[in-house]
Structure 1
Amino acid sequence: MEIRDINEIRSAIKYMDYKPVMLAKFYDIKSLLFKEILENEDYYKVASILPNPGNDNKIVKCVNILDKKYMAGREVVDCTKTPGAIPAEAAEVLKSIRATEDPVSVKLSFGKEMKAEVYMNIPRGNSLTISDMTITPETELTVMNLYNTYYTEGFTLALHFDDFAVAIEPSALDGIKGQGDVFVYAMTKNAIYKDFGSRYFDIAAILKYYRG
């Protein structure tokens, strides 16, 4: 693939707008999509988005293909309606979470030592992925900086381990603006689970500032 094409694809993905997919709870969708396109040009029919990188519909189709690929073989289990289904190892991590606030931020810490790949995304802000991060009980991750313009819109934080991943994300209730809750997710080889965060840790510090 020519450098010109790569740059156009990167630009198209950077500015694309797409409907939320479950995969976005755990991964940086834009970076993952770019990597997949470079590795499998024919499958994603990259030529179809060139020379018009602004064609959002074709980019969105690529996102849908990506989501289907990673979700293949995984069922979605809604534990908000069927409590207790989240696997024990994931529940243990979620129950170790502590959400605290200080005058300028809301932070999450974990009451155990572990190694994980950490993915964090701030709406209308930056995202980052840290591989093989050592987390101790003293580690604090700032998930809401009160000096950020859109801090009330929440965050996405995911931790990937060898056999499973967990994610934390405040979001609107049934899409109703201004009415939100904190949800947690667990991903295994065969399923993705969703549950209320309040069943695992005190979410008060997050809900104090989140507006949905």
Structure 2
Amino acid sequence: MLQIKNLNTCLHLGLIVMLIGCQQTGNQKTNISQEAAEAEVSIQDAQAYSLTAQDSAFLNSLIKDLNGIDKFFVKNSYKRLQVILEKKDNQNTPKVHEILENVSTNEPDYYIEKYMPKNGYLAYTPGPVEVFIDMVYWNVSDGSQLIATQLTAMGDQPSISFEKHTSGTFKKVESLIPDVATLSDKLVPGYSPDNSEEEFVFKLPIEGKDLRFCVDGSEDNCLILEWNDGTFVLKE
């Protein structure tokens, strides 16, 4: 897990967001606040770039051709598109780099740490703040996909969000799992963020479909959130 060196600047993920005012004192473990989440700066949408119509059409055609976790990571971000094409050693990478070379953007640099497209899994870090973000998706029987994105940072409770993708449209989904405080107390009875040493993490599935909530550093001390075609059931 990575350490935030300056906790006056934090990241929260609806997608990837840069936030201000997330503080931590002493050894307190804090949740990334809802107020901070409201102040998010989204990834820069394709329409915000100043490009020629020809260049925009070319980049949009590449985005349209993406599938699976590539599509869900990139969404409408040309900068993320460039990162994915570089990772795949795609033949269009030099042209995309040339188009975007002198384009300003408010997005951070992205560094892909794990890339397992056949498993629907991708993990990355955004600079300059040192956090770890991973994401995975599940296919749902109605033809949609459910995408989970987790942000992990030293000293903070894990932050996980869900979106549903249906025919090119993304919609945030709430209340699919119990909140972190409930899960923490169930896993470690009497857990208190002020007085307990444990830290927690969601284990997104690379193999299988179930989501796990674990004491960080443990493979065995976990709760199982069983996949149930678009929802999760806490396994007793």
TM-score range, shorter chain: under 0.3
| Higher RCO (C-alpha 8 Å, min separation 6) | 1
Which of the pair is proportionally richer in helix?
Answer: 1
TM-score normalised to the size of structure 1?
0.27
Which of the pair is proportionally richer in strand?
Answer: 1
